[in-house]
Amino acid sequence: MIRLKSRATLVASAIAVAALTASTSLVAVSSANAALPSWCGPKKITMGFTDGFGGNSWRLVTTAAVREEVKLCPNVTKLYYADGQGKTDKSISDIKGMVAKGVKALVVFPDAGQAMLPALRSAYKAGVVTVPYRVAPGGTAGKDYDIFVGSDFVLAGKLWGEWIKKNLPNGGNILRISGPAGNSQGADESKGLAMVLGNDPKYKFIGADPFEVTGWDPGKTQEVLTAAIAKYPKIDVITSDFGPSMVSALQAAVASGWKVPAIATSDGNVLGCFYQDNKATQADFKMMTISTQNDHSRLAVQWAVALATGGKKPSDKAYPSTLFEDSVSGKPSAVQCRKDLPGDVYLSAKMSGDAQAKLKTN
């Protein structure tokens, strides 16, 4: 047994032990905080994510991105998810349900656009940090919801337009395809296209204005494309903001002897593989894609968590539209196809294709 020689030595030892314990704790806390992203504040919350339509692979990957992003902030103790199934009334009910559950932050994909505004306003007024993203719900930030995290879809349309102008300098007929009627994404993309090509009489927009309605549904896309092929003898370019939804329609049309026109769209493994499978037999088949933006939801999550937990707000208020593949220039990338992965994988996403292939709904 060690005996301390004096009272002074005893006190000094106690002070030394206390100092050592305090410094160790400080290092541990610092290490833990250093791992947290800046948008993850100290307050603990539960959070909700409501999707207007969760029933396709794009939504599956986007929702997985939400879950992955939320996991980075352990102060979000629970994430609730609801799928509106493409029904406006259910989507509204989902928002109200989240508020009733007591979530402190809510990210919403308001597919129905302005029809969702009253529900968003109601959640906002109930004190829930409300962040709609991607499809504009109308209204005013700070009055109807906290912030709308959009994307510059006009730029997306401009990127398509510039590529069309460069690769089809002699002009042509352009068929525009988008999702539900009235969706702001399709409208903005058409606006961007018109800014680049609208004043040039060589380029003519055919089909419905501002776009043919497909609801981003592969079945409806097939119907629309079939009708367009029957109605218009010459289609030189197809633009679409959900490229993979066109593939089954394109395959059926090619099987019937149709020549595939140039395509300007968003990426998907199935589309890239369609290009690779058909470029040899389809003369002068050109394609470009912009990123399909699965990670747009991550920015919305960062905003919602930052506002609800007291974290640092992100610097970006909109998710960028960026080029992904170009079959002509090969920049920033040639058209990609991973035969070892399922077709419904998006190689532009932050989540790897292998991880996407293993995703389940829950």
Partner 1 sequence: MGLSGGSPRRTTDRLSHFANDKTFGLPHSVYFGVILAIIVTVLLKRTVFGRRFEAVGANPHAAYATGLKVIRYQIGAYVSAQILYCAAGVILGGVISQPTAYQGDDYVLPSVAIVVLGGTSLLGGRGFPAASALAALFLKQLDMFVLSLGVPYGVRTIVISLSLMLGIALYAVNWKSSNFQLKKRDKELQPV
State yes or no: residue 88 binds partner 1 (CB under 8 A): no
With b meaning 16 or more CB within 10 Å and e meaning fewer, what string describes 249-287?
bbbebbeeeeebbbbbbbbbbbbbbbbeeebeebeebbb
State yes or no: residue 343 binds partner 1 (CB under 8 A): yes
Nearer to partner 1, 318 or 341 (CB): 341
Nearer to partner 1, 56 or 282 (CB): 56
Nearer to partner 1, 208 or 334 (CB): 208
In the structure encoding, which two tokens stand for residue 184, read together?
């702001």
State yes or no: residue 361 binds partner 1 (CB under 8 A): yes
Question: Which neighbouring-strand residues pair with 177?
Answer: 212, 240
Nearer to partner 1, 150 or 207 (CB): 207
The least distance separating partner 1 from the CB of residue 299, rounded to whole angstroms, comes to: 24
Nearer to partner 1, 36 or 252 (CB): 252
The least distance separating partner 1 from the CB of residue 253, rounded to whole angstroms, comes to: 11
The least distance separating partner 1 from the CB of residue 103, rounded to whole angstroms, comes to: 23
State yes or no: residue 89 binds partner 1 (CB under 8 A): no
Nearer to partner 1, 219 or 310 (CB): 219
User: 51: phi > 0 → left, psi -120 to 50 → alpha, else beta; which?
Assistant: beta
State yes or no: residue 62 binds partner 1 (CB under 8 A): no
Nearer to partner 1, 60 or 105 (CB): 60
| Cβ atoms of residues 305 and 362 within 8 Å | no
Residue of the chain from 129, 136, 237, 270 that contacts partner 1 (CB under 8 A):
270
| Cβ atoms of residues 137 and 161 within 8 Å | no
Binding to partner 1 in span 169-198, by CB under 8 A: 181
Binding to partner 1 in span 205-264, by CB under 8 A: 207-208, 213, 217-220, 222-224, 226-228, 230-231, 244-245, 247-248, 251-252, 255
- Total residues contacting partner 1 (rule CB under 8 A)? 40
The least distance separating partner 1 from the CB of residue 206, rounded to whole angstroms, comes to: 9
State yes or no: residue 327 binds partner 1 (CB under 8 A): no
Nearer to partner 1, 251 or 329 (CB): 251
State yes or no: residue 152 binds partner 1 (CB under 8 A): no
The least distance separating partner 1 from the CB of residue 177, rounded to whole angstroms, comes to: 12
The least distance separating partner 1 from the CB of residue 143, rounded to whole angstroms, comes to: 30
State yes or no: residue 359 binds partner 1 (CB under 8 A): yes
State yes or no: residue 46 binds partner 1 (CB under 8 A): no
In the structure encoding, which two tokens stand for residue 69, read together?
């992003």
The least distance separating partner 1 from the CB of residue 91, rounded to whole angstroms, comes to: 13
In the complex, which residues of this chain contact partner 1 (CB under 8 A)?
A: 53-57, 59-60, 85-86, 181, 207-208, 213, 217-220, 222-224, 226-228, 230-231, 244-245, 247-248, 251-252, 255, 270, 342-344, 359-362
